[in-house]
Amino acid sequence: MLDIPVDHHSTVPPYEQLRQGIITRVRSGELAAGTKIPTVRALAAQLTLAPNTVARAYRELEQDGVLETRGRLGSFIASSGDPTRDLAGRAATEYVAIIRRLGLDDEAAGRYLRAALGETQDGLGA
């Protein structure tokens, strides 16, 4: 059973409340990697939501890498678990690839990163 409160009077759409609720449980460890989650129809019935609402939340969670669908076996919490870490890791990898293509060294990469984080006041320097 996946008990996620959905406030039907909230300005936040129900699919987004459901998506965030699942992400929160993944981050807290309540939903561990490999945990099977209810079918769209079962969760929709349990939470009194339209099946399309649950399906949209599941689709977005799958796109974010939180869920993985294994055909007839159902949907599971992905082994990656936390989309924030996954996206940050992909962004860092892409940043390094760009820095390498530009011919910059690690020191320059660090300066650009520190400047982007707002840690330097004097610009990038040489």
DSSP string, the chain: -------TTSSS-HHHHHHHHHHHHHHHTSS-TT-EE--HHHHHHHHT--HHHHHHHHHHHHHTTSEEE-GGG-EEE-SS--HHHHHHHHHHHHHHHHHHHTT--HHHHHHHHHHHTT--SS----
Of 71, 17, 11, nearest to 49 (Cα)?
A: 17
Number of C-alpha atoms within 13 angstroms, CB side, residue 81?
14
Contact present, 121 and 66 (Cβ < 8 Å): no
Given a cut of 80, whether residue 87 has pLDDT beyond it is: no
Q: Note the pLDDT tens digit of each residue in 46-74.
A: 999 999 999 999 999 999 989 999 889 99
Q: Note the pLDDT tens digit of each residue in 1-45.
A: 788 999 999 999 999 999 999 999 988 878 888 889 999 999 999
Q: How confident is the model at residue 85 (pLDDT cuts 50, 70, 90)?
A: low
Q: How confident is the model at residue 126 (pLDDT cuts 50, 70, 90)?
A: very low
